[in-house]
A and B are shown apart, each in its own frame.
Chain A
Amino acid sequence: MHPALQGLITIIIGVGGCVGYFWLSNLVLDKVLFPPRGPNAGRNINRANMIRPWLFLFPALAALGLYLAYPVFETLRLSMIERDGVEEHWVWFANYARMAAEPKFIEALRNNFLWLLVVPAASTAFGLLAAQLTDRLRWGNLAKSLIFMPMAISFVGAAVIWKLVYDYRPIDQEQIGVLNAIVVALGGEPQTWLQIPFWNNFFLMVVLIWIQTGFAMVILSAALRGIPEETVEAAIVDGANPFQIFFKIKVPQIRGTIVVVWTTITLVVLKIFDIVFAMTNGQWGTQVLANYMFDKLFRANDWGVGSASAMVIMVLVTPILVWNVVNARREMK
């Protein structure tokens, strides 16, 4: 069968199935289970209305339960057992203890903290700067589009691009990496950027900052436009200079949005995997938690420690996620 036809049929079955589910289940509820007639018509209507929302929520709840809630508990279970061939036996926190003793895990934890400190702050700051600077320019929208464009590139794609930027060739060869080409042109020696311990972490972070600045800029630009112009004019009349207007009038008024942007990027950073995986694979001291988890689960086949590290990531993400949702809801009011 032609693949396009196949796709079309799939779409029809999928959408038709959804529509059919809602329509039929609703019909069964109203006509069969609780028909609005007979001696209990009023009671039946009330009961049907109580059940209806759950009926409609059921597919989403089932899917979330199957693909989100169940894996969490299964991972928790896996993190506390050890496999001996096909036999499983409970070891409780032994996997966690083993993991904590591994230098690679400590390195991943440290690096994740570094990412956490640098990337959200840098992305938000650059985004805010870009939003403010492009606000009044005639070609501001063009500049914004350019800054936003990396958002459209996948993390792996961005990693490949930046791997080329950091590319190293011996000094007697032509440098194909932009960074080394500049260094050499300025009279320096080419560096293996991704292998310089400690600092290579920051070269990886640049990639994510490059991507996330566009996101921060778009959201913050909208927030800046939402500031009443008259408060800015009042500040001008009050004698504030542009810096004071920005930091004392504008930034405080969009504080809530800044927090939401910051925490959203923080969540991305905590889960960071693709960039590290594609560029260094955690070598030369650049390991991060998600890549550590991948290593343990799918390379070393150590399900116990891999699951334990997954739990660590979840425990780190959850409080920030809750805070993010609370802030976002407050902003929307």
Chain B
Amino acid sequence: MADLKLTGVGKTYGGTVEVLKDINLDIATGELIVFVGPSGCGKSTLLRMIAGLEKITTGTLEIDGMVVNDVPPAQRGIAMVFQSYALYPHMTVRENMSFALKIARKPQAEIDAAVMRAAKMLQLEPYLDRLPKALSGGQRQRVAIGRAIVRDPKVYLFDEPLSNLDAALRVATRIEIAQLKESMPNSTMIYVTHDQVEAMTLASRIVVLADKGIAQVGPPLELYERPRNEFVARFIGSPAMNLLPGEIIGTGEKTTVRIAGGGLAVSAVPTRAADKGLKVNVGIRPEDFVITEAEDHVYDGEVEFVEALGEVTVLYFRPEPGRDAVLAKLPGVHADLRGRRVRLAADPARVHLFHGGESLLWRD
């Protein structure tokens, strides 16, 4: 029930160590925003600054149009779900969930009603009088979420809430969070994760953080299909996008690039005549490669290693010295390709071009 606005937000530790700078972000009511990025990129710090657990060094944070830089966490209308759940170990589930309301001196009837409502939503009713240590990991996480729901916050903050759960439970809890979001369409949620599957499946928009700033903001599929830069291109999607160095030899509606290894790539990204001769990196996702017998090919190499997963087969090509190995992900089973020379081609619509790390598609 609130929108957030971050303007020029930065964080510096001890006056010298800058971890975030000039973050500008508008978050609308009802969005589920996911912060992703490699470890150490400051995504948790940004979340903690929104929560009020870290001071904002520069810039302003507005919640519902009010600057809250110096407002204590409890009065910002936020609730946070921590990675380690952070349940109070000496309190029962009921006491854990009612703690915030007790502190706020709400009437007991109102507290009971709020706890029961949250417990019902999260199927926690049978466990209300248990201590956290008597709960499973998934149940603890639900209590942590319940503790947030009880407070009826304007903004929910999730700090890697699933990373302490095992793989099966993670999938189940991820779906529960998605359903929870659907049942509370007006609540704003900010979710930090390093798991891009969580980001892709939950987010209405993803914020990719890298190098102290925002690398790109957009809906999940836009980040996948139209990455702004090489970092986002390689960060979203697994295995990471292949980058092949080359030179533009043909411009226009479609661009032709001569790849350093000898292949020829055609991209649907339009270029200007002046771009002829420009050194670029051609980006092609492993899953966008197809095997071809034709003369026209993007890449040609010897398959060094094959990972057969059944539904897909990942080919690892023998890398040229000093380059990353090229990967191709083909549907179905191709177990017999190991050690053979294979030619790869790709649909021009799925061939990305980067110059100086930035995508030519997003060039003005």
Contacts and interface: CB of A to CB of B under 8 A. Distances in A.
Interface in A223-238: 228, 230-231, 233-238
A249 B88 contact: yes
A197 interface: no
B86 A238 contact: no
Interface in A85-111: none
B79 A231 contact: no
A228 B100 contact: no
A83 interface: no
Most buried by B among A230, A237, A238, A248: A237
Contacts of B88: 231, 234-235, 249, 252-253
Interface in B72-91: 72-75, 78-80, 82-91
A30 B316 CA distance: 61
Interface string B79-112: 1101111111111000000011001100000000
Contact of A233 (B72, B85, B86): B86
Given A236-B53, A237-B53, A239-B104, A230 B99 contact: no
Given A233-B53, A234-B80, A240 B103 contact: yes
Nearest to A234: B86
B208 interface: no
A315 B103 CA distance: 45
Contact of A237 (B78, B84, B90, B91): B78
A237 B74 contact: yes
A255 interface: yes
B280 interface: no
Given A252-B90, A253-B90, A234 B82 contact: yes
A228 B74 contact: no
B103 A239 contact: yes
A291 to B, nearest CB: 41
Contacts of A154: none
A232 to B, nearest CB: 9
Interface string A238-269: 11100010001100110100000000000000
Contact of B86 (A231, A239, A252, A255): A231
Contacts of A230: 82-86
A238 B91 CA distance: 14
Nearest to B144: A234
Contacts of A249: 88
B55 to A, nearest CB: 13
A248 B80 CA distance: 19
For A233, A234, A249, A255, the residue with the greatest tally of chain B CB atoms inside 10 Å of its CB is A234
B51 A235 contact: no
A239 B90 contact: no
Nearest to A241: B103
A235 B100 CA distance: 8
Contacts of B104: 239
Contacts of A231: 86-89
A288 to B, nearest CB: 37
Contacts of A237: 51-53, 73-74, 78-80, 100
A236 B86 contact: no
Contacts, number: 63
A253 B103 contact: no
A50 B328 CA distance: 64
Nearest to B100: A238
A230 B74 CA distance: 15
A230 B72 CA distance: 17
A235 B99 contact: yes
Interface residues of A, number: 17
B90 A238 contact: no
Residue picked from A239, A240, A244, most chain B C-beta under 10 Å: A239
Identify which of B75, B87, B90, B104 gathers the most chain A CB atoms within 10 Å of its CB. B90
Given A244-B103, A252-B90, A255-B90, A238 B74 contact: yes
A228 B90 contact: no
B87 A236 contact: no
Interface string B130-155: 00000000000000000100010000
A233 B157 CA distance: 13
Contacts of B90: 252-253, 255
A86 B218 CA distance: 101
Given A236-B53, A239-B103, A228 B86 contact: yes
Contacts of A240: 74, 99, 103
B331 to A, nearest CB: 43
A237 B80 CA distance: 7
A248 B102 CA distance: 12
A255 B78 CA distance: 30
A332 to B, nearest CB: 17
A252 B99 CA distance: 14
A236 B84 contact: no
A226 to B, nearest CB: 12
B269 to A, nearest CB: 46
Contacts of B99: 235, 238, 240, 248
A299 B222 CA distance: 94
Interface in A136-153: none
Given A233-B53, A252-B90, A253-B90, A239 B100 contact: yes
Contacts of A236: 52-53, 72-74
Contacts of A233: 53, 80, 82, 86
Nearest to B79: A237
A222 B104 CA distance: 31
Nearest to A229: B86
A239 B74 contact: yes
Contacts of A228: 84, 86
Contacts of B147: 234, 238
Interface in A22-67: none
Contact of A238 (B52, B83, B84, B103): B103
Interface string A205-232: 0000000000000000000000010110
A239 B83 CA distance: 19
10 contacts: A228-B86, A230-B85, A230-B86, A234-B80, A234-B87, A236-B74, A237-B51, A238-B147, A240-B99, A252-B88
The 8 closest A-B pairs by CB, nearest first: A239-B74, A230-B86, A238-B100, A252-B90, A234-B86, A230-B82, A237-B73, A239-B103
Given A234-B82, A239-B104, 9 more contacts: A228-B84, A228-B86, A230-B85, A231-B89, A234-B88, A238-B103, A239-B75, A253-B88, A255-B90
